[in-house]
Structure 1
Amino acid sequence: MDVVRCTLCKDAVAPMYCEVCHIDLCKDCVVEHLSDTDGFHKVVSLKQFLLTLRYNSVCPNHPTKQCEQHCEECNVRVCGICVSSKEHDQHKKEDILKILTTKKALIQKDLLELKNSVYSKYQEAAENIPIQRADVRKHSEQEIAALNEQREALHKEIDTIVQRMMTEINEMDKQYTPAIEKQEHVINKTMNEIKQVILDLKSLLETSDVGLVCKYKSKIEEFRKLPPKLKIFLPNFLPQKINREQLLKQFGSLSIFSIKTEEQGYTMPSPEAESSPSARPLLDVPRLITDIPTYYLYNVSCLSDEEIWTSGDNKIMKLYNLKGELLKSVKTKSGYQPEGISVTRSGGLVYADSEDCSINLVSGTQIQTLIKLRDWKPRGLCSTFSGDLLVIMDHDVEYLSSDYDDDDDDYADDATKVVRYSGSTETQTIKRDDQGERLYSIGYGIKFLCENRNMDICVADHSQGNILTSDNDRIHIIGQDGHFLRFIHNCGVQDSSGLCVDSRDNLFVAELRTGKVKKLQYYKSTD
């Protein structure tokens, strides 16, 4: 049997085995491995592990035999009898211990990715469902209100039309009524005259007075001419047949309803998909790729490689493309400017509000409060690649005084800190790096941080108009383990404020006074 070498040092013989991490260990590396506080370990002798493995590797087809190999084509463990059988004779086989080690390592890697990355992403998606449901309900209510408003508008128009026609009818009534009354008066007067003439004629027929009869003159011609007939042409309402299609066009219509699923733009790449940034060398001089004109800036955060969220000295957060074109605007819940903004893995926008000491999530048209702070004010934040939130905060009341002692370490440690949150639970507090240096200066200067794909934390401190030091505008990068990596400077950055990185680890820097966002490359290309 080949000698088993230590997985860590690659040199010494490994008599021990960690059943949790599934690695072989020499005696010297056992101590170092057990001192790792990041996880639980169970180290046993390699011999004991192999005996246990052998005990658990009884052949399912030949119970008296132990399986020492694994058939890759059939994906089953096999014993010596199985190997010599025709069923597995031409199949590729591997040592079962090697297969076990490889599979356990894969299981461990998948477990960590599911726990630390994938599950948190699904949690975000689940948390977004009630917001999406509320958005749908709110949208439906708005559309129903719009329908009622249109209905009222149409009713109002119909009422106006009817009222106008009724007014016209009344006006016409006022005009033809006097004409009829005049005609009536003329006819009645003539009729009275005719009645009187009839009485007079009857008297003449009965009288014996020859003189009265001789004086009679006929008026029959006068009465034969009848009065003119009054002709009135009254208007008639001509109702049109209601055309539902035309009415629908006039009233309006609903747009097409559809339910679609789309791939999310924030799928986490597998560890093998891209080389780790920590394995890539840094450029000696960072390269300016482009600058994007916007407005007076404090913060910047990448929604994608082509779109960036920004915020400045007002309550409005704005989404731009790399051409500087405004795509979208969102107002803060409190009506005050945000202290920091960041985009989550699922594409939601989170912002810090020092006015009400809260961290908020913008999703669709809804703003949800995620975290409420007590005695601390948020001064900046970023959403990490693991789904956590890193929040910079200053003490709310006690450290507002300007007469602080910058050399008082206890005072400084209690003035400003960075806190890591998993959901709304505080999981880590960072005040200094491993060299004992404070990450930020004391006071309410503008402070920023961001994280790259290797979980390196980049921090910037804009107190007194400088970045971390008082002699130049520069940014420093802190490694995942807290070690200082390097400065980024001499790249034409002026009055730097917000920071963020895209999926290719290009660094976006917001310039406070120029209103520009500068895109910098500080890692060497992997091409």
Structure 2
Amino acid sequence: MDPHHSAQDVVRCDLCETAIVQMYCDFCHVNLCFACIGKHIADDYQKHIVVPFQNRKSTLIYPKCSTHQNKVCEFLCKECDMSVCSMCTISADKHKGHTFSILYEIYNERKADITKDSEEIENIISATYEEMATDLETQIANLDGEYVKFTTVVTKHGEEWHKEIDNAINKMKNEIEEMKIKHLEILKKHLDEIKQIQSLIEQSLITLKEMEESNEVSVTMEYRSKNKEFRKLPPKVRVSLPTFSPIDSEQLYKSLGSLIPLSFTTDENADTMKKRETSPKELMDEPKLVTTINTGYKYLCNVTCLSEEAFWTCAEVSDMKCFNVKGKVINAIKTKSGERSGDIAVTSDGNLVYCDQKTKTVNKVKSGQIEEVIRLQGWTPLKLCVTSSGDLLVTMCSDDQTPSKVVRYSGSTEKQTILYDDEGKPLYSGSPTIKHISENRNLDICVADCGAGAVVVVKQTGKLRFRYTGHSSTTKNKAFQPLGITTDSQSQILTVDPYNHCIHILDQNGQFLRYIDHCNLKYPWGLCVDKSDNLFVTEYYYSGNVKKINYLQ
């Protein structure tokens, strides 16, 4: 085993390669034992800087002056932006009237900058690029599946069009049959008219023959010619056959729909980086209740911020109401089904989305009109949130009591399903209990699984990061059953603990930080934070209150 590279051996002298190192040359960066010091410095005693090994790399090595031999530069000429020695500073020619800085002080400042840059790269920049890489890897990993789904949608659309085409052809055939019958009726009617006239002509001809053979004067005198009437022929009937004007293949292609061309955008990540570099906010020693807004609901469930001045609410009724912070109702809408909404969220463009457990749909409210976005089969949507990228994350339970799952949607298209951990075990409880969901600033997906008594946090890829099952406390003696969940600008996770009348605050790694158990909270249920980290909390039983709380400073 090489003694110089073995992690099991002590450091040896670089010259003799056998003795244990005691000293170090800060100029040559060489390990030395006591016996080899003289040999090392023999070539030029003054240039070497031999220090104890534990003090290695502690001596500053100044650059040599290019003007004055045997002098080192300990100053910086500000005007010339160059290192100079003490002799240069008193020079009467080259640096006359110039100002100088001490190189040691500049060195220390640069060292501090280096340390700061190193910490920034390690703690912020590197982590940011890791997130970006993970996001791209996730997109690449999901690409085939996404395009399979995309192709399936087009294929399904084609099958539906095949049915529609068959229906249309059958309809056309029926119309052709009806046209044939009408055509036949027209021709027969005209033929009947001609036949009738022909009968009259034949009868007239018989009469004329009889009169030609008769010699009765009176009969001949009474004759009046009808040939004039017969010469006036009835109009000819020309019925044109129906024609078929088919659409060409290009028209058919356009009729089936259109493909929006592939496009991409690049986010200005520099802005995101600057936001991460802002001074972190700290938890207040004691959160402050700012205001209490009474919504008039008896069982108030969820709240989501529209802005810093307004928020939407929903309860155990079909009405969803938007209030301003002064408590005035500024908008209201009823669910399409007439049943209560399961959860609400607001998109980046300010539209309300809600899930309806009766119809198993997720709907968007746009310009006062309700549009169906997602319709599920065999699954019921529980809770939802809007991600930073504009996707929808929906928690849902199965009709057959299999484990619950989280599904990511882009519009109406399913992009990702999160169901099992790396060991194939369900991530979430199977009971149809409430499972609130929120996306953290680091793109983690946080689910408050009430049935499991845990906050389950996975990465954007769906890989489990941690489970939080509550914090031991002598004052919190009821079982931890988290409901509402949200995250703030510090990537902290907040979840309500309704039966202990408090809110748990965790860091992004699942470490408990503190409770919010002041502000006279009674059965907190839903919660959200606005862009300024003001916390809005609903109280479920009877009061119908939304409480606005400051907890960061």
Indicate whether the TM-score tops 0.5.
Answer: yes
Matched, 1:109 2:117: no
8 Å contact kept, 1:298–1:311:
yes
Name which of 352, 376, 379 aligns with 1:335. 379
Matched, 1:454 2:454: no
TM-superposed CA distance for 1:278, in Å, is 0.9
Matched, 1:425 2:463: yes
Taking structure 1 as reference, are residues 139 and 175 closer, same or farther at Cα in structure 2, changes over 3 Å only?
Answer: same
Taking structure 1 as reference, are residues 58 and 169 closer, same or farther at Cα in structure 2, changes over 3 Å only?
Answer: farther
8 Å contact kept, 2:494–2:503:
yes
Secondary structure in 2 matching 1:455? coil
TM-superposed CA distance for 1:359, in Å, is 2.4
Alignment of 1:247-326 (within 5 A): 268=272, 270-271=274-275, 274-278=278-282, 283-288=287-292, 292-296=312-316, 303=347, 315-317=360-362
Aligned to 1:501: 529
Taking structure 1 as reference, are residues 348 and 438 closer, same or farther at Cα in structure 2, changes over 3 Å only?
Answer: farther
8 Å contact kept, 1:135–1:364:
no
8 Å contact kept, 1:479–1:485:
no
8 Å contact kept, 1:292–1:516:
no
TM-score, length-normalised on structure 1?
A: 0.58
Aligned to 1:377: 428
> What is the alpha-carbon distance in structure 2 between the residues aligned to residue 264 and residue 439 of structure 1?
44
Matched, 1:173 2:224: no
Q: Which amino acid aligns with 1:110?
A: I
8 Å contact kept, 2:314–2:343:
no
TM-superposed CA distance for 1:387, in Å, is 1.9
8 Å contact kept, 1:352–1:359:
yes
Q: Which amino acid aligns with 2:56?
A: Q
8 Å contact kept, 2:345–2:352:
yes
> What is the alpha-carbon distance in structure 2 between the residues aligned to residue 110 and residue 489 of structure 1?
40
> What is the alpha-carbon distance in structure 1 between the residues aligned to residue 291 and residue 368 of structure 2?
20
Report how many residues are paired: 420
> What is the alpha-carbon distance in structure 1 between the residues aligned to residue 234 and residue 54 of structure 2?
119
Q: Which amino acid aligns with 1:353?
A: M
Aligned to 2:16: none
Taking structure 1 as reference, are residues 96 and 333 closer, same or farther at Cα in structure 2, changes over 3 Å only?
Answer: farther
Taking structure 1 as reference, are residues 125 and 69 closer, same or farther at Cα in structure 2, changes over 3 Å only?
Answer: farther
TM-superposed CA distance for 1:369, in Å, is 0.9
Matched, 1:518 2:529: no
> What is the alpha-carbon distance in structure 2 between the residues aligned to residue 425 and residue 126 of structure 1?
13
Taking structure 1 as reference, are residues 140 and 346 closer, same or farther at Cα in structure 2, changes over 3 Å only?
Answer: same
Q: What do the CA deviations read for 1:43-69 (whole angstroms, capped 9, x no partner)?
A: x99953456x959x999xxxx999989
Structure 1 unaligned segments of length 5 or more: list them.
1-43, 202-213, 396-414
Secondary structure in 2 matching 1:113? helix
TM-superposed CA distance for 1:109, in Å, is 1.5
Aligned to 1:352: 395
TM-superposed CA distance for 1:441, in Å, is 4.7
> What is the alpha-carbon distance in structure 2 between the residues aligned to residue 45 and residue 67 of structure 1?
26
> What is the alpha-carbon distance in structure 1 between the residues aligned to residue 448 and residue 488 of structure 2?
17
> What is the alpha-carbon distance in structure 1 between the residues aligned to residue 377 and residue 125 of structure 2?
34
Aligned to 1:389: 445
Q: What do the CA deviations read for 1:89-146 (whole angstroms, capped 9, x no partner)?
A: 9999983553254145324413433443454256446645737656765675677678
Q: Which amino acid aligns with 2:281?
A: P
Taking structure 1 as reference, are residues 259 and 160 closer, same or farther at Cα in structure 2, changes over 3 Å only?
Answer: same
8 Å contact kept, 2:419–2:426:
no
TM-score, length-normalised on structure 2?
A: 0.55
Deviates most, 376-385 or 167-176: 376-385
Structure 2 unaligned segments of length 5 or more: list them.
1-51, 293-308, 317-340, 430-434
TM-superposed CA distance for 1:265, in Å, is 11
Secondary structure in 1 matching 2:389? coil
Secondary structure in 1 matching 2:486? strand
Taking structure 1 as reference, are residues 394 and 454 closer, same or farther at Cα in structure 2, changes over 3 Å only?
Answer: same
> What is the alpha-carbon distance in structure 1 between the residues aligned to residue 185 and residue 107 of structure 2?
106
Q: What do the CA deviations read for 1:343-389 (whole angstroms, capped 9, x no partner)?
A: 43433232333543222222221233123263663444432222223
Percent identity, aligned pairs only, is 14
> What is the alpha-carbon distance in structure 1 between the residues aligned to residue 226 and residue 392 of structure 2?
96
Aligned to 1:34: none
> What is the alpha-carbon distance in structure 1 between the residues aligned to residue 260 and residue 513 of structure 2?
54
Q: Which amino acid aligns with 2:428?
A: K
Taking structure 1 as reference, are residues 274 and 49 closer, same or farther at Cα in structure 2, changes over 3 Å only?
Answer: same
Secondary structure in 1 matching 2:184? helix
Q: What do the CA deviations read for 1:216-242 (whole angstroms, capped 9, x no partner)?
A: 999598496537316222344589999
Q: Which amino acid aligns with 1:348?
A: D
Secondary structure in 1 matching 2:189? helix
Secondary structure in 2 matching 1:176? helix
Secondary structure in 1 matching 2:193? helix
TM-superposed CA distance for 1:393, in Å, is 4.6
TM-superposed CA distance for 1:457, in Å, is 3.1
8 Å contact kept, 2:381–2:394:
no
